[in-house]
Structure 1
């Protein structure tokens, strides 16, 4: 557990050469004083990815992703900020200052370590049993499924003997108390006393966290006993809502391709991995996907191909997966498997090429839903066409690119026999509903906003902002960063609500806390804000879910995905960033993903997990109101905007007084947009027959006067 303060982060950055670090991932070519390469975060043919050794920053002019060395490894490896700091500190030879554990945290950590050792020992015993005479049935099953002994160890496969207490007795001989076996999910207590094995006569698949640490098991029945697949119960280490089978060995291919194949079964994930079809697969530990699983996988990929079985249960699971991934901003496609087949069946019966063809032919989510609707709904009747339009509208609303969305609307309206404008009306209504639902979910106490807290290898999608507004905001941010003498001039003329893009507002306010502005230090503060918001989201999600394990110490947050074994990643981090955010008050700063991001003044109480931001409330321009959010997506976007401004500065004016005129034009652009928003609000209230608040009218009149030069401001 480490204290990650700003000075430590700066020392790591100064000791490392960003060119050397990025050069291990991407072949860089020198171009003048900078280096260029094909961007590792999106597909391109002409290099637009630049690395500046002088500024120690990178930026891609193609996908607008940028930042410092921490940003790069976070995006490339799918790490959180504390994990990136831990690994880069090890590389730079910087010792991270430890923070003392509370008694409760120490007990939780020690218990987790004990459970991990017991599970490792059980995995070794299962592997040994597979090769023993008792494991003949399991060996026969594997060979029939095309898995020879040479590859069993790659996937850690094992066998749980048929006896009632073989594992219990074997572990007791090695000094493991039965109560610890129960807590690890390996044994169950007999009603009359004693203990028996949870897994009996089953082929065993170890389930690991992204670091490769065994945290549970899945057992496949070999004699027809139900359930066919039995997973470990919820434990302090194992929560199937937060895990994917196969993620540890799939990670390199996921990062390389940016695509994950999501399957149902363990054998399906292994089949895709062994087939050599160019894809990596992960299994969802059952057909019920969770937001936490989607959040974890979205750290590594931009696209998923859902390849569930074609039966009814698989189709229901596919539909839920489509919604979760689409709402998280991940591109979703659906593989159309032959009836009654899963990926493993396809590989064994038809060969790897057949599976590759199925995956390559996966259709976009909106096309998949269109085909489903056309098969289920009688579009020959007006009622049927209305139902079909209502079913399709939410999926059309999720299509991000306007050209692509327009083409789908045109084609589907023609197929349904509808006027294009009618379908557009349904799409706009659905879009409003999705925005309301997202807003309600984000503001719900303990809510888990997947889009807000994920790390991604792609640029975070943002609301479409008029080009003139974005240009004005960028110019105002650039002036505040590189010409601090103009900050007060800008601040005196703008209100927080005048900013349209949250990332631009965040950079402007953060610049006001630094004198002089140092882009490297500013990135450190942005990282700290993101870590705090992410930790609060995790803590809020755990609090909302309650204590799942029933353990004495309550739920314990696992280190996030992507850590290297032995890298010294903190299980509980602390980030101290003076002046970054305010005190942790309800609806306060960086709260954002489910409440306040800090915890009092940085003092960690028992059971508290994740990084904590200590603040100076006398310098708190980042304070947010009760209804506002400052989430990780906004913070990551701010980091990319900052990198863009550093790599491509605003041109300097030629004439005296020209800067003031330009800034005044930018400010008036934002003011006019604010006036337009107020006009629209007033018109909406009047059209609905509701009273228009007096303060809204007064604000409209004041803005009008300011823009006409009749009032100051």
Structure 2
């Protein structure tokens, strides 16, 4: 468990050359004082990705991704900040100081390490058993599935013997107590005493975490016993809501293509991988997808193709996956498999080319839902058309690009026999509902449509914010960062509520704190805030879950405070912002460093520039208050005195009758 303070992060950054690190991922070409390349985070034909050795920063003018060496490896590898720090510290030769653990944290860490060791031993036992005489049935099943021995090690395939306690006895000989096997999800206690194996006569598939550590298993029945597939139970190291089967060996291709095929079964994931169709697949450990799984996969890819079975259960799971991925802003598509077929069967019966065609022909989420809705409702009747429009509108509302949305509305209005304006009304109503439900509804922040990549952190959203206000906020930020002598001038004339964009406000507040004006230090603080906001139960730095995260009561929040303190540099308290806001702020900071605001050419020019920016924000604040007062009056509600007073003060300030 490491203490990630600002000094350590800065030392790692100073020892590493960002050009050298990024150059291992993309070919860089020198262009004057900087280096350029095709952006690794979005498709482009001409280079807009720039790396500055002097600033030790990168920035893409096409997709607005930017940051330092930590940001780059986090986005490219799908790592958290502590994971990136741990790896780059190893590369830079910087030792990470251990953070003192409480007795509870130490016990949790030691227990997790014990369980991981037991799971490694079990993995080796299953692999050896597959090649033993007793594993003949498993070997025969693999041969029938077209999996030769040469591929068994790549996927870690194994076999759980048919006896009742083969694993228990084997690991007891290695000094592992049976009670620890029960805790690892590998054995069960007999009612009358003793222990027996959880997995018996099953083909075994190891399930690894993103760091490649075996944390659980899935076993397929070989003799018809139910259930057909049996997963490890929940343990301190295994939580199927946070894991994907195959992510460990699929990760290189996921990063390369930016696309993941989501399937139901382990053998389906293997079939896609070995078919050589240009895609990588992961299996969802059952048909019930979770938000945590979506969040994890979105760290690696921009696009997801759901390839579940075409039966009723698969269709329900597909719909659930569509909602989760679409709401997260991932470009989600659906591969429509033949009835009764899964990807493994398609490859075995029709060949890899047939699977490639199905995946290439995957339809966008909106089109898939439209086809389903047309089959569900009788659009020959007025009521059926109304119900179909209501069901389709929320999916149209998820399409962020106005041209795409308009084209879909036009096409589907004709198909439904509706006036285009009627369908637009339903779509706008769905947009309003989604906005009220969540300020981030409608997709991941940034990007220009529903296909925007999560890890690209595209432009700060300015929907509904006048361009002049965005420019004014950027100008005030740039001056505060690169002309710190004017920061107090700006702070004394602005209220926190005058900032419209949360990322801009966060940067301004952090820039005003001690030692935060240096962009490198500011980035370190932003990374730390993002790491704390994720609230992961465990990370690469070895932070163990708190009792609260384990679902148990804890004595106050001391362990959580320790965890946050371990990754929060500096002494100034900062309220934990939304992680997406922090990620936007990192991209904004990189953008400002690429194009800082120039200073004025004449005396007194800076003050006039700043006053113009401040007046722009004040006018927008005044407009927002006016709109709020009008809304209250229109609904018959009383207008708070404080709101009126604020309106009068702003009016006076803008007319020059009061200071501000």
TM-score normalised by the chain length of structure 2 = 0.93
Q: Quote how far apart the aligned CAs of 1:425 are.
A: 2.0
- Residue 72 of structure 2 is matched in structure 1 by 72
Q: Quote how far apart the aligned CAs of 1:660 are.
A: 2.1
**What residue ranges of structure 2 are gaps of 5+ in the alignment?**
447-452, 547-554
Answer yes or no: is 1:640 the counterpart of 2:587.
yes
Name the SS of the counterpart of 2:4 in structure 1: strand
Q: Could you tell me which of 558, 580, 594 is aligned with 2:538?
A: 558
Q: Deviations along 1:373-413, whole A, 9 cap, x unmatched?
A: 01111112221112111111111111111221122122222
- Residue 98 of structure 1 is matched in structure 2 by 98
- Residue 461 of structure 2 is matched in structure 1 by 462
Q: Please give the alpha-carbon distance, in whole angstroms, between the structure 2 residues aligned to 1:608 and 1:215.
A: 26
Q: Please give the alpha-carbon distance, in whole angstroms, between the structure 1 residues aligned to 2:600 and 2:367.
A: 50
- Residue 543 of structure 2 is matched in structure 1 by 571
What stretches of structure 1 move > 4 A for 4+ residues in a row?
Answer: 449-452, 606-611, 613-617
CA 1:614–1:518: 2 relative to 1, 3 Å: closer
- Residue 449 of structure 2 is matched in structure 1 by none
CA contact (8 A) 2:498 2:621 kept: yes
Q: Please give the alpha-carbon distance, in whole angstroms, between the structure 2 residues aligned to 1:377 and 1:390.
A: 11
1:404-443 alignment, distance < 5 Å: 404-438=404-438
CA contact (8 A) 1:81 1:527 kept: yes
CA contact (8 A) 2:70 2:84 kept: yes
Q: Deviations along 1:320-365, whole A, 9 cap, x unmatched?
A: 1111111112111111111111111111111111111111111111
CA contact (8 A) 2:4 2:566 kept: no
CA contact (8 A) 1:64 1:459 kept: yes
Answer yes or no: is 1:198 the counterpart of 2:198.
yes
CA contact (8 A) 2:207 2:215 kept: yes
Q: Please give the alpha-carbon distance, in whole angstroms, between the structure 1 residues aligned to 2:569 and 2:121.
A: 45
Name the SS of the counterpart of 1:152 in structure 2: helix
Q: Please give the alpha-carbon distance, in whole angstroms, between the structure 2 residues aligned to 1:451 and 1:655.
A: 39
Q: Deviations along 1:269-316, whole A, 9 cap, x unmatched?
A: 000000111111000000000111111111111111111111111111
- Residue 138 of structure 1 is matched in structure 2 by 138
Q: Please give the alpha-carbon distance, in whole angstroms, between the structure 2 residues aligned to 1:250 and 1:178.
A: 33
1:69-468 alignment, distance < 5 Å: 69-438=69-438, 456-460=454-458, 462-464=461-463, 465-468=465-468
1:658-673 alignment, distance < 5 Å: 658-673=605-620
Name the SS of the counterpart of 1:605 in structure 2: helix
Taking only aligned residues, the RMSD between alpha carbons, in angstroms, comes to 2.4
Name the SS of the counterpart of 1:668 in structure 2: helix
CA 1:655–1:450: 2 relative to 1, 3 Å: closer
Q: Deviations along 1:508-552, whole A, 9 cap, x unmatched?
A: 1111114682111111111111122223xx3xxxxxxxxxxxxxx
1:19-58 alignment, distance < 5 Å: 19-58=19-58
CA 1:149–1:451: 2 relative to 1, 3 Å: farther
Answer yes or no: is 1:710 the counterpart of 2:660.
no
Q: Which moved more, 1:227-236 or 1:120-129?
A: 120-129
Q: Deviations along 1:91-142, whole A, 9 cap, x unmatched?
A: 1111111112221111111111111111111111111111122211111111
Q: Please give the alpha-carbon distance, in whole angstroms, between the structure 2 residues aligned to 1:73 and 1:398.
A: 30
- Residue 541 of structure 1 is matched in structure 2 by none
Q: Please give the alpha-carbon distance, in whole angstroms, between the structure 2 residues aligned to 1:680 and 1:362.
A: 45
- Residue 550 of structure 2 is matched in structure 1 by none
Q: Please give the alpha-carbon distance, in whole angstroms, between the structure 1 residues aligned to 2:567 and 2:545.
A: 10
CA contact (8 A) 2:528 2:568 kept: no
Q: Deviations along 1:617-656, whole A, 9 cap, x unmatched?
A: 7x55x45xxxxx7112111111111111111122333333
- The alignment covers a number of residue pairs equal to 644
Q: Deviations along 1:641-699, whole A, 9 cap, x unmatched?
A: 11111111223333333322222221122122112212221222222222222222222
Q: Quote how far apart the aligned CAs of 1:437 are.
A: 2.6
Q: Please give the alpha-carbon distance, in whole angstroms, between the structure 2 residues aligned to 1:334 and 1:611.
A: 43
Q: Please give the alpha-carbon distance, in whole angstroms, between the structure 1 residues aligned to 2:648 and 2:367.
A: 49
Name the SS of the counterpart of 1:159 in structure 2: strand
Q: Quote how far apart the aligned CAs of 1:616 are.
A: 7.0
Q: Please give the alpha-carbon distance, in whole angstroms, between the structure 1 residues aligned to 2:21 and 2:544.
A: 26
- Residue 553 of structure 1 is matched in structure 2 by none
Name the SS of the counterpart of 2:456 in structure 1: coil
CA 1:104–1:265: 2 relative to 1, 3 Å: same
- Residue 585 of structure 1 is matched in structure 2 by none
Name the SS of the counterpart of 1:339 in structure 2: coil
**What residue ranges of structure 1 are gaps of 5+ in the alignment?**
442-448, 539-556, 561-568, 575-598, 624-628
Name the SS of the counterpart of 1:36 in structure 2: strand
Q: Which moved more, 1:63-72 or 1:411-420?
A: 411-420
Q: Quote how far apart the aligned CAs of 1:604 are.
A: 5.3
Q: Quote how far apart the aligned CAs of 1:50 are.
A: 0.6
CA 1:342–1:90: 2 relative to 1, 3 Å: same
Name the SS of the counterpart of 1:96 in structure 2: coil
